[in-house]
Structure 1
Amino acid sequence: MAENHTSPTARPIAKKGSRRHTLARLIGYLMRDTWQMIVMILSGLIGVALLVVAPKVMARGTDVLFTGILGKLLGNLATKMHLSDGVTTEQVVDMMKKAGQDKVASMVSNYNVKVGVGVDWNAFLKIMLMTVGIYVVAMAFRYLQTFVMAGITSRTVYRMRDEIETKIDRLPLSYFDRVPRGEVMSRTTNDVDNIQQSLQQMLAEFFFSVFQFIATVGMMISISPMLTLIAMIVIPVLLIIVGGILKLTQPQFVKQWENTGKVNSHVEEMFSGHMIVRAYGQEAFVEKQFDEYNESLYKASWGASFLSSMMNPLTTFAGNVSFVIVAIFGGLRVINGQITLGDLQAFSQYSRQSTQPLGQLATMGSTLQSALASAQRIFEFLDEEEEKQEDKNTPTLASRVTDRGGVQGHVEFDHVKFSYVPDKPLITDLSMEAKPGQTIAIVGPTGAGKTTLVNLLMRFYEINDGHIRLDGVDVSELTRQDLRSHFGMVLQDTWLFEGTIRDNLFYGVHDKSHISEERMLEAAKATHVDEFVRRLPHGYDTVLDDDTTEMSQGEKQLLTICRAYLSDPDILILDEATSSVDTRTEMKVQHAMNTLRTGRTAFVIAHRLSTIRDADIILVVNHGNIVEQGNHDELLALGGAYANLYNSQFAGKNEDN
């Protein structure tokens, strides 16, 4: 389904706690299906009109039935009084008044009674069939309304999920550095699911209930304005109480979904690191933390649920009080001949129907509070500051260097300045050059800024000043997607998605149709992946998931190396790529990496200095700046920082420098 997306940053940012703004924005999502909304509203309106008319039609049947019964009774009375067969109703009424039966006479005069004539069953049957037909048609329109509503809700949530997915791709890496992954997942899954469920529960019912209340009150007024006024006495009191409850539930729902995010974040973090938790014996501490988060969630959920559950009992009580009042005063008016029995029956039904939608609306109010709390969290996510949007028509790097024989991999850092936090500079003035085909090793203590250089090169973060050029083109003049398409990356942490080994190996290939099975096998053999995959029952069709135990961590690392090999990048980035493999496997991987690096520029972040002895240039980084650079022999001869690092790793070992 194709959708036109407007960048979330172009919309006004919803203020935290602004329910009106959040509601307006949520309605904006619904109104994208304008025609469907119109159909839903019209079908609901027609359904309500038919349901409201039905009691009035049924009242006619009651009057026909009661009129026939009265006719028979009056006929029997006339016979006992020895009146002629042609006596009229008016004559019987006059005799009742003379006998002091004024109220009974007034009641009888309200009906078109024919003395001695019983129930007109044909008329009664027609009225009942008409009533059944009205209910059937009303039900059909209700089904139509529900069907259309389901489509609107599904498309609304579809758009939300689509915008969230697009937003994730536009968010800078710094956002995920500061926001726990579990919190992001909670907003993008639990909160969206809550909105979907809430909309399904209340969207169609809202319009139906509003229409039903207005229509039933209108019909009540048409029958008896006085009875309507009496029946409505309890409504203002009910509205005041419900309004107060809704005001109390809003902060509870906000706390509920905030605490849901905290619980999810904690569980996700502890699940990912459960081995570390057990290794350090921190189960009790983790359980205590979870209990605190869970207790907060319980209190907020209980408060929201308890307050919401008060709606139905209150509205039911109000409806019962209204019904009793109507029954008492309505009965007196029937006896006094002011309304018919059929009208009283219809009015009683309308009285019930008028409080029923109020109860539904009150319950929907609680559901709406929950939906708004989730919507507010989602909109806050969608309103997060994005990376600067780029022109998709920007010329690619390949098109700019066609006259030079294609992308060469010449990288330059020119007086680069960068800081993660504005008042804490990390890189103050960094300049370096990596010529095509060179291997650049980056070493230094933890926190020195080694990975930062790679992040800046791939534009995961934007520099504060200076220039980074690739083949003479400033990387800021390229789209991020085009820039990153020239890189292959192998990280210290292996990342494999759920799917077959073959799918994982092809993940970095943009055009899979150009990669044959033979090419995949060649890459697998070069990186020693084929050796262990062949031993698996399903080979390259083995499905990987989070619980895969058929492969070691080192073998998973080899898969990521093979993935980079198969993508055939112009520039390689190896961030401690062999850290998870044993010494023997490391030698094999190093051989494969040497083959892969041939003819390509490569940046290698390493802690094992033995793995980068053959690098063309070794950069020693500290506090974000290059303190030494040169090859292995030059830096050892210099006797500076690199020599100290190297000697500290190989002290007591006989190493050939």
Structure 2
Amino acid sequence: MAGASAPTVAHLFGRWAVPLGPYRRPLVATVGYITADYASGLLGYGQYLMWRRARRGMLFELQVDTFAHIHSLSLAWHLNRNTGRVMHIFSSGVKSVMELLEVVSFEVAPMLLQFLLTVGALWRLGSGSLSALALGSVAVYIGVSALMTRVQMRVEEKNMKAAEREAGHATDSLDNYENVKIFGTKAIETGRYRDQLRKEYKRSDRSTLTEAILSNLQSFIRSACVVAGLLMAGRRVAAGLMSVADFVAVDSYLRSIFSPFTYAGYIVREIASSLLSLRKLVDLLQQRPSVVDVPGAPQLALRPSADGVYRGGEVTFDNVSFAYGDESVDGVHNVSFTVRAGGTTAIVGPSGSGKTTLVRLALRLFDVTSGRITIDGQDVAKVTQQSLRDAIGLVSQNTTLLRASVRANIAYGRNGGEGVSDAEVSAAAAVAQLTDWLGRLPKGLDSVCGERGVRLSGGERQRVGIARVVLRRPAVLLLDESSSSLDSETERSMQEALRVASRGATTIIIAHRLSTAMGADEILVLDKGCVVERGNHASLVGRDGGKYRRLWELQHGGSLGGEEVAQVDRDEVGGTAKQPVEVPAAS
């Protein structure tokens, strides 16, 4: 009924209330305008959805690629980076790429079109004189805006450099909150943060001042142009060459012709600011890792023993030298030794003698300066880094944990936790002697370790690190001073866990405490990057005037008994009687 009566109502309304004849064209124009406006809104929304989807795809790929690139950079770069500064460049640079694309696509092109149409309209109204005035004024306007924008960009660049320098200060302070509490520097850190904010606000004030100067100069140029144009148009009206309606149109056009360039100043500043951030991101992406796979590098092929007792991994350092820099005194010089598959070699020496450098070279975190390192006869520099590191497990002095559960941290030892079963995690935890400790935790394996594992003691973190290695089942096990910071009781417990974890693996022990090295097949004494002594514990400790004996006496109060000089049981950590430890396979 309602639908059927609608034409009749419209007909009556049109016939008696509104005579359509005189108003037909205005009515059609009005309906057309409303329809076009609505269609414009729909098209604009469609454009927004399409751009949003495209933008998200580009942003996603750029973020992932940048993140992967940062991880691909070599250890040398990471050791010298400032995390806060890198993350600032990462976030602001990625954002600037999208802003730049958006401004160029949706602002610059429409702005130029509007300017050309306005100049054309003024040409028609003023026979060229008004167009010349507009073009001249716009040229001055652009020149002043460009000059002031350069000044702004210098200020902005200084601000950005300062922001990058300061980006990591607050993060470092919060990361080292324990030191802040221990040294009672809360007030000092708060004061430094307050000073940092004040500097930031001052920088912002300088930017605001340059913007205000530019805005006032632009307003003066606009006003002068409008006044001159209206005087010219007024004369044409007085001469009968222009109607009053055209005079009003001239006023409107002269005011509107600057709108694109007023906005252009903002666009230029945005583009310049985006380019500054983008340049930093490009510099970051242009960083190249110093350690790369050779083209066509094969995977490391391990050669396990025929009886399956050892997983392969004979390690040979052949006349290896390395220096951290041309003028660096740290490094190693002409180091040669071989660790047979399943055997154990310990490396001892004073701090700074190059022990940890050998571990980094074995992992190929750095490339050797000369010589070569092989595993089962294959040069580690000629196989893929991924396959090399898949074959190696590391327990370091400072085990770093994720801000995640104990379960996730242990599982991370193999494939980042992908496909690792709960049974495997529990078995690895048992080998690392974590079962009793986990039983006392309310959430057991689901207990959160805290950022960098701060909720765990040193010994607990070490055991989690051992559990990771047990789960990994590497062919080569590197123990980098893994028990040097532990008390004697905890160390003995750790030694037992390490003894079990090292079964079936070729083991290299970097030892600070010589008791850790006693059971090794061979002990190398390193001093100033050179091997100065080698042998087993009994032969080295019995060598009068030897470096090893001197270190042993320093650690044991200067007394040597027959028991210490005698050969120790080979079933200590890294002894020859190691048998592989089993972890349940993934179901």
Tell whether the structures are fold-level matches, with TM greater than 0.5.
yes
Aligned counterpart for 2:121 among listed residues 202, 206, 219: 219
Answering whether residue 527 of structure 2 is matched by residue 622 of structure 1, we say yes
Change (3 A) 1:516 1:628: same
Q: Which amino acid aligns with 2:129?
A: M
Deviates more, 1:440-449 or 1:526-535: 526-535
Point out where structure 2 has 5 or more consecutive residues left out of the alignment: 1-20, 565-587
Q: Which amino acid aligns with 2:89?
A: R
- Mapping 1:142-161, distance limit 5 Å: 142-161=44-63
Change (3 A) 1:141 1:353: farther
Task: Give the Cα–Cα distance (whole angstroms) in 2 for the partners of residues 407 and 594 of structure 1.
Answer: 16
Residue deviations 1:278-306, cap 9 Å, x none?
Answer: 54466677677667766665554443343
Secondary structure at 1:394's aligned position in 2? coil
Task: Give the Cα–Cα distance (whole angstroms) in 2 for the partners of residues 591 and 271 of structure 1.
Answer: 36
- Assess if the C-alpha contact under 8 Å between 1:254 and 1:374 holds in 2: no
Task: Give the Cα–Cα distance (whole angstroms) in 2 for the partners of residues 512 and 282 of structure 1.
Answer: 39
Displacement, 1:315?
A: 3.8
Deviates more, 1:430-439 or 1:230-239: 230-239
- Assess if the C-alpha contact under 8 Å between 1:312 and 1:363 holds in 2: no
Residue deviations 1:371-405, cap 9 Å, x none?
Answer: 11111111111112323543675322227889998
Task: Give the Cα–Cα distance (whole angstroms) in 2 for the partners of residues 450 and 388 of structure 1.
Answer: 20
Answering whether residue 429 of structure 2 is matched by residue 524 of structure 1, we say yes
- Assess if the C-alpha contact under 8 Å between 1:440 and 1:617 holds in 2: yes
Deviates more, 1:386-395 or 1:208-217: 386-395
Partner of 1:584: 489
Secondary structure at 1:621's aligned position in 2? strand
Displacement, 1:520?
A: 1.9
Partner of 2:133: 230
- Mapping 1:346-357, distance limit 5 Å: 346-357=249-260
Displacement, 1:568?
A: 0.9
Aligned counterpart for 1:561 among listed residues 443, 466, 488: 466
Displacement, 1:583?
A: 3.1
Partner of 1:36: none
Answering whether residue 149 of structure 2 is matched by residue 243 of structure 1, we say no
Task: Give the Cα–Cα distance (whole angstroms) in 2 for the partners of residues 191 and 259 of structure 1.
Answer: 16
Change (3 A) 1:301 1:641: farther
Answering whether residue 111 of structure 2 is matched by residue 209 of structure 1, we say yes
Q: Which amino acid aligns with 1:649?
A: Q
Displacement, 1:216?
A: 2.4
- Mapping 1:392-471, distance limit 5 Å: 393-398=296-301, 408-424=312-328, 426-471=331-376
Displacement, 1:533?
A: 2.2
* Number of equivalent positions: 539
Q: Which amino acid aligns with 1:187?
A: I
- Mapping 1:84-163, distance limit 5 Å: 121-163=23-65
Partner of 1:484: 389
Q: Which amino acid aligns with 1:420?
A: Y
Displacement, 1:141?
A: 4.2
Answering whether residue 504 of structure 2 is matched by residue 599 of structure 1, we say yes
Partner of 2:553: 647
Partner of 2:18: none
Q: Which amino acid aligns with 1:395?
A: P
Deviates more, 1:496-505 or 1:467-476: 496-505
- Assess if the C-alpha contact under 8 Å between 2:346 and 2:520 holds in 1: yes
Q: Which amino acid aligns with 1:506?
A: A
Aligned counterpart for 1:268 among listed residues 164, 168, 171: 171
Change (3 A) 1:148 1:350: farther
Residue deviations 1:541-585, cap 9 Å, x none?
Answer: 234442876533432232122111111111111112224544333
Task: Give the Cα–Cα distance (whole angstroms) in 2 for the partners of residues 420 and 322 of structure 1.
Answer: 65
Q: Which amino acid aligns with 2:496?
A: H
Residue deviations 1:6-37, cap 9 Å, x none?
Answer: xxxxxxxxxxxxxxxxxxxxxxxxxxxxxxxx
- Mapping 1:188-199, distance limit 5 Å: 188-196=90-98
Partner of 1:3: none
Change (3 A) 1:607 1:190: farther
Answering whether residue 542 of structure 2 is matched by residue 637 of structure 1, we say yes
Change (3 A) 1:514 1:358: closer
Task: Give the Cα–Cα distance (whole angstroms) in 1 for the partners of residues 76 and 227 of structure 2.
Answer: 64
Task: Give the Cα–Cα distance (whole angstroms) in 2 for the partners of residues 407 and 542 of structure 1.
Answer: 33
Task: Give the Cα–Cα distance (whole angstroms) in 2 for the partners of residues 502 and 359 of structure 1.
Answer: 59
Displacement, 1:429?
A: 1.1
Displacement, 1:448?
A: 0.7
Point out where structure 1 has 5 or more consecutive residues left out of the alignment: 1-118
- Mapping 1:355-374, distance limit 5 Å: 355-374=258-277
Secondary structure at 2:520's aligned position in 1? coil
Secondary structure at 1:163's aligned position in 2? helix
Using the size of structure 1 for normalisation, the TM-score is 0.74
State the percentage of identical aligned residues: 27
Q: Which amino acid aligns with 1:368?
A: I
- Assess if the C-alpha contact under 8 Å between 2:353 and 2:527 holds in 1: yes
- Assess if the C-alpha contact under 8 Å between 1:524 and 1:562 holds in 2: yes
Change (3 A) 1:633 1:493: same
Deviates more, 1:533-542 or 1:137-146: 137-146
Partner of 2:577: none
Displacement, 1:613?
A: 1.9
